[in-house]
Amino acid sequence: MDYEVVIGLEVHAELATKSKIFCGCKNEFGGEPNTHCCPVCSGHPGVLPVLNRQAVEYAVKAGLALNCQIQRFSKFDRKNYFYPDLPKAYQISQFDLPFCKDGFLDVRAGEKTSRVRINRIHLEEDAGKLVHSEWGSGTLVDYNRCGVPLIEIVTEPDMRSPEEALAFLEQLKSILKYSGVSDCKMEQGSLRCDVNLSLRPFGQAEFGVRSEMKNVNSFSAAFRAMNYEIKRQAKLLDEGKPVEQETRRWDDQKGMSFVMRTKEDAHDYRYFPEPDLVPVVLEQDYIESLRASLPELPAARQARYLEEYGLSEYDAGQLVAEKEVSDFFDACAALCPDKKELCNWVLGEVLRKRKEAGEESPVPLRPEGLAALLALYREGRISQKTARDVFETMWTTGEDPAAIVEREGLAQNNDAGELGGLVRELVDQNPQAVKDFLGGNTKAMAFFVGQVMKATKGKANHKLVNELLQKELESRR
Ligand code: ADP
Ligand code: MG
Ligand code: ZN
């Protein structure tokens, strides 16, 4: 039977604050175990938390960027559970009054745009990390991550395919990075997601029973986990067996998920208001100042590229995916008359070099440099091949393109007299190829072009060479 897929996501993002949420310890990935800790974040009795203002600001900014209602009054709650990575035996989180509610993100997946509603965004503290020791049977605990500020973004079960969920995650990541709220490095665990998924027969109004998958460490793992879960649940339903409401652990190496806990052993967290922190009241002016401080977000930029620059929706979408690339494009666009040509260079050469240098590495080019290179090409002073070579050099040395062309003698040869002489010589020397050409063999033309290019070290004006050859060869008919 064919089932409709229903997906809801819970996404955790670590906030890019300098210090932790309730103490002055460094919020920094890595470091020797237990070196970014103090009595507050390692859960000593009698200490008091002090709320990090920047963390609240980032949580609110995330909410604004995701079209949420910002709650004027919110508070913190204790979520009680025992686990060795949680030294206080409770996590300070938000239960009934989170900072943000009722948002949405319009997600483009393939040809379709659909609205994914955001139920809530709350602020909480991260837990530590268990380290399974490689020198014995024991497990160690590293509290460096304890107290790192986190937001949890909870969606409504609005996604209907793994593709749509993946597009949501990609666009969410892009927005969080644009807003400066989180660096979203999945490999460092600063963006993590739990996948809730259920199936129902098409046309059925009620949702099916869902499972929740944890330990999904990359977007591609999320995609694999969802597809696995769809197959697993469909098989159960086809066999007339019930899907259990349970939490499962995804094992990406094995490509399978395993039961972690069932509904019966679900936690009762005994939430209660955190007595050591006062509720937070946000003034409307403060909220508005944060709204005004948000940069232009990817969707708005994409629309602007369509309207102002006449780019295709696809190209514009590619350009805005990462702020660094989009900022670079914008800076160049101010200097380049042909936006489409610029777009091709950025999506082609710039993204290629950036990928070589490692995902998310900075763009070392100056916008003026790329603009000057495109001008040299446009004015016919260098060939396309030369433009590519000069680009390579600029990427590593940061030099001015005109200086590279000058130094390496790369200027395009547009001299019709000189090239005409060369063409005549070559035609004289290769009577067989001339015969082939006149007999209709198109490869003969390519042969002659290749010879001219070789003789001029690739600097001859391609178009001019073609014209001269055509004329010369026809004259031998
Ligand atoms: P809990 O508090 O038990 O985690 P929630 O109702 O808050 O449950 O839902 C958690 C996540 O599960 C949300 O992202 C929500 O969209 C998703 N979800 C809820 N019901 C379903 C369902 N039937 N199928 C898929 N996802 C669901
Ligand atoms: Mg949950
Ligand atoms: Zn601390």
Asked whether residue 264 carries a pLDDT value surpassing 80, the answer given is no
Ligand nearest to the CA of 271: 1
Query: What CATH number was assigned to the domain covering residues 416-474?
Result: 1.10.10.410
Residue 23: nearest ligand to its CA?
Answer: 3
CATH 1.10.150 fits 297-353, yes or no: yes
| Average pLDDT over every residue of 403-408 | 84
Contacts of 243 (CB under 8 A, 6+ apart): 198, 199, 208, 209, 210, 211, 233, 236, 237
Q: What pLDDT is stored for residue 105 in this prediction? A: 97
Residue 464 CA to ligand 1 centre (angstroms): 66
Taking the CA of residue 207 as reference, the ligand 1 atom at the shortest distance is 23
157 alpha carbon, closest ligand = 1
The atom number, within ligand 1, closest to the CA of 198 reads: 24
Is the distance from the beta carbon of residue 210 to the nearest atom of ligand 1 less than 6 Å? yes
Would you state the pLDDT for residue 232?
97
Q: Is 8 in the pocket of ligand 1 (CB under 6 A)?
A: yes
Enumerate the domain spans of the chain. Answer: 3-287, 297-353, 364-412, 416-474
Q: How confident is the model at residue 156 (pLDDT cuts 50, 70, 90)?
A: very high
| CB neighbourhood size of 104 (10 A) | 15
β-partners of residue 125 are 149
Choose which residue among 79, 210, 214, 269 to substitute to test ligand 1 binding: the one with the highest number of ligand atoms within 8 A of its C-beta.
210
Q: Please state the φ and ψ torsions of residue 159, each to the nearest 5 degrees.
A: -90, 145
Contact 226, 165 (CB under 8 A): yes
Q: What is the pLDDT of residues 406-442, one digit of tens each?
A: 887 777 888 889 889 999 999 999 999 999 999 988 8
Cβ of residue 154 lying under 6 Å from some atom of ligand 1: yes
Range in 135-144, 245-254, 406-415 the model is least confident about: 406-415
**359 pLDDT higher than 80:** no
Q: What is the pLDDT of residues 33-88, one digit of tens each?
A: 999 999 999 999 999 999 999 999 999 999 999 999 999 999 999 999 999 999 99
pLDDT at position 145, please? Answer: 96
- Protein residue with its CA nearest to atom 2 in ligand 1: 154
CA of 189 to the centre of ligand 2 (A): 18
314-356 pLDDT, tens per residue? 999 999 999 999 999 999 999 999 999 999 999 999 999 888 8
d(CA 333, CA 346): 11
The whole-number pLDDT of residue 147 equals 97
| Torsion 442-448-452-454 (CA) sign | positive
pTM: 0.86
**Which CA distances in Å does 427 have to 170, 447, 452, 476?**
57, 11, 11, 9
Among protein residues, the one with the nearest Cα to ligand 1's atom 19 is: 157
